[in-house]
Amino acid sequence: MKRFITLITVLAVAAMSAMSQGGPEITFEKTTHNFGKIPQGTPVTYEFQFTNTGTEPLIVNNVQKTCGCTVTGWTKNPVMPGQTGYVSAQYNAASMGAFKKPVTVVSNASASSLQLFFEGEVVAKTEQTGTPVNESPLTPGK
């Protein structure tokens, strides 16, 4: 009899655990994006795509940035199970040098917050394009 009660208890706990695992889940295609070399003064944008792999609507409540050099955007409407959405990050490439910036996604998923990263290197315009700044690659008069 004790074994039967123990078995019933274990099965009940397992069933409750399985039921509590439902809800929205956010799954990104990738969590880091490398822009490579960016000419100084040229803003760049990337959209991180995600899918709601859960069983209930997913709501992205906020996307937090760490500096004024970044502008964020995201899917504002609830994302139904199996549907996709986005989180965008625009970087103002004003400062020269390498960078790696996080954005924090806050949602109603079981992992209520997660970080995405974008990185790259801001270089002088001449280094990126091979053309000196303010000079045309065409020779005047030809």
CATH for 24-128 is: 2.60.40.10
Whole-angstrom Cα distance, residue 11 to residue 7?
Answer: 6
* Element spanning 47, H or E: strand 44-52
pTM assigned to the model = 0.73
83-117 residues labelled b (16+ CB within 10 A) or e (exposed): eebebebbbebeeeeebebbbebebbbeeeebebe
Residue range 24-32: mean pLDDT, rounded: 97
What is the domain partition of the chain in residue ranges? 24-128
> What percentage of the chain reaches a pLDDT higher than 70?
74
pLDDT for position 1: 63
Residue range 65-76: mean pLDDT, rounded: 94
* pLDDT tens digits, one per residue of 75-91: 999 999 999 999 999 99
Residue range 3-7: mean pLDDT, rounded: 54
